[in-house]
Amino acid sequence: MSHLLQNAGLPATDVLNALAFKQLMRGVASSVSVVTTFHHGIPHGMTATAFSSVSADPPTVLIVLNKGTRSHPLISESRRFVVNVLRDDQRELGNHFSGKLDDQFAAVDYHAGQLGAPVLDGVVSYFECETVDAFDAGSHTIFVGRVVAGATNETSPLLYHDGQYKAVLPLSN
């Protein structure tokens, strides 16, 4: 049996363990987002890279959150979230929201979006969402959100690849 990993010059395994899977995922570049919500009037946020478009009609996205994060039960209960896609010069925001600070928004510029959840100022784009479905996926939950509002600008996104923040560089023709 030919394995994709063998073809890539890597040892193949029939069953991937969590560590091997995480190593595989280090080869995938993702945009860096801060997923935010309001819960009982308090803003919350977390850095995430598991975000994807699902459908244009109706506009729908998904996020994937570890069940052990502080934001998971808050988004489950509020059923509203904003995906804030960070600019390539917003690494500090990515680091800030990956920690466990009690007052995450004390020094962060944001405004309440249409649904009340925090929209971070100056991001590449944001997607305000109402949760329409959620799926159990092992250690994580896949939240499917209907996009009710959003905006974008012409800046470049911050990327995460191989354990590091990176920027988009254009290829010459």
Whether 68 is covered by a domain: the verdict is: yes
For the entire predicted model, the pTM comes to 0.85
CB-based contacts of 110: which residues, under 8 Å, 6+ apart?
36, 43, 118, 119, 120, 121
CB atoms within 10 A of CB 157: 18
pLDDT over 70, % of the chain: 91
CATH of the domain at 131: 2.30.110.10
Whether 166 is covered by a domain: the verdict is: no
- For residue range 8-22, what is the model confidence (pLDDT) as tens digits? 555 555 567 878 877
Whether 26 is covered by a domain: the verdict is: no
118 lies in which domain range?
A: 32-160
Q: For residues 120-149, give the mean pLDDT.
A: 96
- Tell me the C-alpha distance between 12 and 5, whole Å: 5
- For residue range 88-118, what is the model confidence (pLDDT) as tens digits? 999 999 999 998 777 889 989 999 999 999 9
Whether 8 is covered by a domain: the verdict is: no
Whether 115 is covered by a domain: the verdict is: yes
Count structural domains, the chain.
Answer: 1
Whether 19 is covered by a domain: the verdict is: no
